[in-house]
């Protein structure tokens, strides 16, 4: 009981929201000071996940993979604005759930999953489209977008900070994406790709006040000055990337900030300042249909999520259509990636599907598989941007054999005939910690290791030992 009081007092102390912050929200649509402060002081934490439909499903409140039903958590209810999202009754230790590491689900804030509605209501997702997720790390929105677009569509997931771009790449690989290019570029670099993208998603860097309840420590970093600096940066980002959007294309802008300067004021700025056409104002702010029961607050043609009204954190989103007439642009490829020879492709036959839809090419550190329809785009992007990853990295060809990459085990190209070992929960955790695992040695050579029939990575079985090839940078660092 004493510990409960100590925790409650700690939360209350941490949640002393700055007076200047609260005063700045007084005129904001949907703000109720009393209930807003109360929900922050409550210490309530909302945990939500999004299922990877390519790998798993939710059946009767359990995570289902094929015929196996597995319950690493307890489902509370479905998130109403997404087909893949669920609230949990409490937060489990995701670190020690092998299926989290296998990419069967993503832990994501519920409000931000509303991106699904913005896309479905403004874009024909059945068509082949090109999408840019400009500020994509750590990968929540990118993996969500990838689950929504068609197989022959292309998603470019970008992150300007290199260390965060590596985290983004790891999450894209874990999700099993095959139609994604990960880039590490400043927004201004995309101006050269004029009229290229059908959709651009800008989840802009912001002052982060929408996450105060989730991350109380962020309160100390909030200031009116930081809000203004973020607002100026958001304008620069939008102005830099706007030329890359096609005529009639969609731009989705969002923040996790409550501040009007980063939300409605940015919308006003976009409508007034973004168009460069001599014809004048050519930006339309799109309306979305929302269910009244969702308790989302409509602010003009934008949408606000308040934690005292919805089950989630603070979020703001607005959708724009580009009406500016665009000139035709010839996307010339100045440098092509080398395709594999027939003999090299034959070396891949025991490992992955080989058909007319896939092209195999040499990449940074081995061989890659890409959708043949996307090859021209990948070559084009590779010649214009700093590309960190694309398609599916299969591995390296060494001495007439393939040394498989971790990404091959995470994707959908792997043949079911590849030898595999089934691990218990304890064995799976040891594997993910990159420790030695005690298993019955069967066939020598490379084998897939699985938990509940789902791949985790590779081991190489030698006569006197088993080499664990789980990536060092992804290993679990703590003990269970």
Task: Point out the residues that are catalytic.
Answer: 256
Give the C-alpha separation, 435 to 225, whole Å: 48
Instruction: Establish how many alpha carbons lie within 13 A of residue 268's alpha carbon, considering only the half-sphere containing its beta carbon.
Output: 9
Give the C-alpha separation, 3 to 438, whole Å: 40
Residues in Cβ contact with 192 at an 8 Å cutoff, skipping those fewer than 6 apart: 384
β-strands 154-158, 367-371: how paired? Answer: unpaired
Residues in Cβ contact with 57 at an 8 Å cutoff, skipping those fewer than 6 apart: 51, 63, 64, 65
Determine contact, residues 270/100, Cβ cutoff 8 Å: no
Give the C-alpha separation, 395 to 416, whole Å: 18
Give the C-alpha separation, 471 to 448, whole Å: 14
**CA 243 to each of CA 152, 158, 163, 247: distance values in angstroms, whole numbers, following the listed order:** 24, 16, 27, 10
Give the C-alpha separation, 339 to 341, whole Å: 7
Determine contact, residues 370/358, Cβ cutoff 8 Å: yes
Determine contact, residues 84/286, Cβ cutoff 8 Å: no
Give the C-alpha separation, 222 to 211, whole Å: 11
Determine contact, residues 210/227, Cβ cutoff 8 Å: no
Give the C-alpha separation, 152 to 374, whole Å: 7
Determine contact, residues 39/47, Cβ cutoff 8 Å: no
**Residue 140 is encoded by which pair of tokens?**
């929540």
Helix (H, G, I), strand (E, B) or coil at 384: helix
Give the C-alpha separation, 55 to 340, whole Å: 29
Cβ neighbour number for residue 381 with a 10 Å cutoff: 23
Instruction: Establish how many alpha carbons lie within 13 A of residue 60's alpha carbon, considering only the half-sphere containing its beta carbon.
Output: 3
Instruction: Specify the DSSP element, H or E, that contains 285.
Output: strand 283-286
> What's the chain's length in residues?
480
DSSP code, position 183? E
**Residue 371 is encoded by which pair of tokens?**
């959708």
**Residue 462 is encoded by which pair of tokens?**
């030698």
């Amino acid at each position: 009981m004493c510990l409960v009081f100590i925790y409650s007092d700690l939360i209350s102390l941490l949640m002393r929201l700055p007076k200047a912050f609260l005063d700045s929200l007084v005129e904001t649509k949907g703000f109720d000071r009393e209930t807003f402060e109360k929900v922050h002081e409550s210490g309530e934490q909302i945990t939500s996940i999004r299922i990877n439909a390519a790998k798993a499903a939710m059946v009767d409140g359990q995570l289902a993979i094929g015929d196996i039903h597995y319950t690493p958590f307890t489902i509370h209810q479905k998130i109403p604005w997404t087909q893949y999202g669920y609230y949990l009754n409490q937060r489990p230790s995701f670190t020690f759930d092998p299926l989290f590491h296998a990419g069967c689900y993503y832990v994501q804030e519920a409000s931000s999953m509303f991106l699904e509605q913005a896309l479905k209501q403004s874009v024909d997702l059945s068509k082949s489209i090109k999408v840019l997720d400009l500020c994509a790390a750590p990968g929540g929105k990118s993996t969500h977008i990838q689950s929504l677009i068609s197989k022959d569509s292309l998603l470019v997931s970008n992150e300007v900070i290199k260390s965060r771009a590596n985290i983004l790449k790891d999450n894209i690989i874990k999700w099993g994406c095959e139609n994604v290019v990960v880039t590490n570029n400043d927004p201004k670099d995309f101006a050269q790709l004029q009229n290229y993208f059908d959709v651009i998603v800008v989840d802009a860097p912001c002052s982060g006040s929408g996450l105060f309840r989730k991350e109380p420590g962020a309160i100390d970093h909030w200031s009116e000055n930081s809000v203004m600096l973020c607002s100026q940066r958001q304008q620069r980002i939008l102005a830099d990337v706007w030329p890359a959007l096609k005529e009639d294309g969609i731009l989705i802008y969002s923040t996790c900030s409550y501040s009007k300067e980063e939300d409605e004021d940015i919308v006003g700025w976009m409508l007034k300042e973004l168009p460069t056409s001599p014809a004048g104002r050519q930006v339309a702010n799109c309306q979305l249909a929302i269910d009244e029961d969702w308790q989302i607050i409509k602010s003009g043609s934008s949408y606000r999520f308040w934690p005292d009204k919805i089950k989630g954190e603070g979020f703001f989103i607005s959708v724009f259509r580009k009406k500016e007439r665009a000139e035709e642009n010839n996307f010339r490829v100045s440098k092509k990636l080398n395709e594999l020879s027939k003999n090299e492709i034959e070396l891949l036959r025991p490992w992955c599907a080989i058909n007319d839809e896939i092209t195999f090419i040499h990449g940074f550190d081995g061989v890659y598989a890409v959708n043949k329809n996307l090859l021209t785009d990948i070559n084009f992007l590779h010649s214009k941007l700093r590309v960190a990853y694309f398609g599916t990295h299969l591995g390296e060809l060494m001495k007439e054999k393939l040394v498989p990459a971790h990404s091959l085990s995470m994707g959908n190209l792997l043949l079911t005939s590849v030898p595999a070992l089934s691990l218990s929960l304890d064995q799976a955790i040891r594997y993910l910690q990159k420790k030695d695992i005690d298993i019955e040695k069967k066939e020598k050579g490379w084998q897939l290791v699985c938990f509940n029939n789902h791949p985790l990575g590779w081991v190489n079985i030698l006569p006197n030992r088993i080499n664990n090839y789980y990536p060092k940078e992804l290993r679990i660092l703590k003990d269970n």
